[in-house]
Structure 1
Amino acid sequence: MNDATRAGAVPVLMYHSIGGSDRLAVRPEAFAEQMACLKERGYTPLPFGERTRPAVRPVVITFDDGYADFHEHALPVLERYGFAATLFVTTGWLHDAGPRAAGAPPGRMLTWRQTAEVAAAGVEIGAHGHSHAQLDQLGEEALREELRRSRGLLEERLGRPVRTMAYPYGYSSARVRREVHACGYTAACAVANAVMTGRHDRFAVPRLTVRAATSLDGFERALEGRGFRTDHALTKGYAVVRRSRYAARRLRGVA
């Protein structure tokens, strides 16, 4: 029995750019085909914050970072099918972040106005950190600031509560997850490349990475919980390495 056939199993898809040029960017045509596939197969897309709501063949569609091409290419397709989705925004990367800008964004990003339009269209907005920092490598004060600043800015500018988040790079730890909970979030996304089931921690919900190289057949297999075993093992192994790095940084007084 694969993960997708278990009771309460929900595939949570992770996208980044729709139309960019890196390995995680999905072509607009491929994205449209994938959404058509969901429609044809009778899936019911839910916002991440409602991922456990009873539905016929539930699926969650998420997007990280806040690329401008979400507004241009993804949103029209989602609206065409009436699909719910969740966009996790890195607030310091927004095009008009101004004096609150943080770090170098990976591409052309949304403006605050576009982010508000996305929210008004019914897309759930979640946080993705302020500077896209590796949260599991931050000290306590910096971690708390990263989590609270992103959520605070989104709530202030959009005028609506923000209760969910996704870890930048998918990196977290038990310490990070405790702080996420303490900061008032109700759930958070990791990566892990597995289908979500009832056994998963709500602060480490696994997602399935959709890449530039993901074929339509590969997309269909991912929905069924197949084809990601190697990635999952590598992700778990790397978590051990990152915990060791953070411990070493603390000993040196860096974190």
Structure 2
Amino acid sequence: MPARSSSRLSPANSRIESMTVAACGGLATPAIETAIRIRLPASSASNTRFIKRSFEAVEPPLTLDEPGRMLMGMIVRPLRVYVSPVFRRIGLMLLAAVVTLASPALPAGGQDAPATPEVAVTDRVAPVWDGTYRRIRVPILMYHYVSPLPENADEYRRELTISPDTFRAHLEYLFFEGFTPISLYDLDEALLTGRELPAKPVVLTFDDGYIDHYTHVFPLLKQYGFTGTFFIITGRVDARDPNYVSWEQVGEMAAAGMDMEPHTKNHVSLQGRDYDFLVYEMLGSIESIKAHTGRQPHLFSYPVGQYDADTLAVARTLPIWRAVTTANGRYHTTDNRLEMPRVRITGGMSAPALASVLRGD
């Protein structure tokens, strides 16, 4: 595979800042204020420093039981020694997994909730590139809202919304015209190994994790026997926002064969961000989905399509095989794995308009 560009992030500029359960675990949104002491290189102006960051608590503080505190100590203590970004990333992933599985979540109101059972994680076998460069035309459709348009909808909402009846018409068109919805994992394997795709392949993606993805999209996909990829803003799910899916619904959709993938924790731009912010948003959402579904996600969608070289550098260190953008396009190559274009479904787009979009280049 063509060489990947190196990161512009230097170890000296990277820091380990305070971590919260919300940062990577994703099972609860209360903030835990933590100070982690780290040792910097000898060339640093100071040999040691304390870094402390406070997060606004939206629920009562989460407390760990004794085993949880012991596990936290096992992970945090090794992080006091300065290590390279790669090993630091591994430490953050371990911390996320330990806190996620060892800590009980408290619902709003402060009452005890049943401890979340440990989930066995299953993973896919990564396809191995066979050395052949490929360019494949597969439209990746990008949906947002699939719901009745609210009476007070602004221009932004109107531009991103199609009705359930219109969406049904889209699926009916795809079905009777012989299109086959595939997953991004199928496309990745085809690009790397030459695996044959079905005739007229198309990928259906749905950004943000709105509740209508469960109430309208999910039932219709099952009715037509189609698969879909749903990019979830995990912080909205953690907060139990009624406009978004719940973790129970995410788990149900994953069990039914839908790909539930990360769209960051808080749906903020990833441009001009430092290493810690990017890890918090990207790895945090990955770990949350893994903890709740028992499946390791390997896809990613950039919020509002905004990212830069630093974002890509961090993405290369994470278990992300393919990432989609909001750029328009239908062709994908072996080496554009983190910048895959899509086709935007605009507000009220009819089935005939969709047919025209699918024919275009």
- How do 1:1-255 and structure 2 match up within 5 A? 8-21=136-149, 22=157, 23-52=159-188, 53=190, 54-94=197-237, 97-98=238-239, 108-198=243-333, 201-226=336-361
Instruction: Rate the CA distance shift 1:73–1:63 in 2: closer, same or farther, 3 A.
Output: same
Higher Rg of the two aligned structures? 2
Instruction: Rate the CA distance shift 1:153–1:199 in 2: closer, same or farther, 3 A.
Output: closer
On the 8 A contact 1:193/1:208 being kept in 2, the answer is: yes
User: How far has the Cα of 1:20 moved from its partner?
Assistant: 5.0
In structure 2, stretches of 5+ residues that fail to align are 1-133, 150-156, 191-196
Return the alpha-carbon distance in structure 1 between the equivalents of residues 139 and 236 of structure 2: 28
Q: Aligned to 1:172, what secondary structure does the other structure show?
A: coil
CA offsets 1:132-184 (integer angstroms, 9 cap, x no match): 11011322210121111000011011111110010010112232122112112
**Percent of residue pairs bearing the same amino acid type:** 29
Higher helix share goes to which structure? 1
Q: Aligned to 2:146, what secondary structure does the other structure show?
A: coil
On the 8 A contact 2:264/2:285 being kept in 1, the answer is: yes
On the 8 A contact 1:163/1:184 being kept in 2, the answer is: yes
Give the letter for the 1:65 counterpart.
D
On the 8 A contact 2:204/2:227 being kept in 1, the answer is: yes
Q: Aligned to 1:51, what secondary structure does the other structure show?
A: helix
On the 8 A contact 1:12/1:196 being kept in 2, the answer is: no
State the number of aligned residues. Answer: 213
On the 8 A contact 2:162/2:347 being kept in 1, the answer is: yes
User: How far has the Cα of 1:196 moved from its partner?
Assistant: 2.6
User: How far has the Cα of 1:199 moved from its partner?
Assistant: 6.6
RMSD: 1.8
On the 8 A contact 1:20/1:26 being kept in 2, the answer is: yes
Give the letter for the 1:31 counterpart.
F
Q: Aligned to 2:137, what secondary structure does the other structure show?
A: coil
On the 8 A contact 1:48/1:62 being kept in 2, the answer is: no
User: How far has the Cα of 1:198 moved from its partner?
Assistant: 2.4
Give the letter for the 1:121 counterpart.
A
Instruction: Rate the CA distance shift 1:80–1:185 in 2: closer, same or farther, 3 A.
Output: same
On the 8 A contact 1:163/1:185 being kept in 2, the answer is: yes
Give the letter for the 1:135 counterpart.
L
Q: Aligned to 1:8, what secondary structure does the other structure show?
A: strand
Instruction: Rate the CA distance shift 1:92–1:7 in 2: closer, same or farther, 3 A.
Output: closer
Instruction: Rate the CA distance shift 1:20–1:167 in 2: closer, same or farther, 3 A.
Output: farther
Give the letter for the 2:216 counterpart.
H
CA offsets 1:173-212 (integer angstroms, 9 cap, x no match): 2321221121121110001121133276110100111122
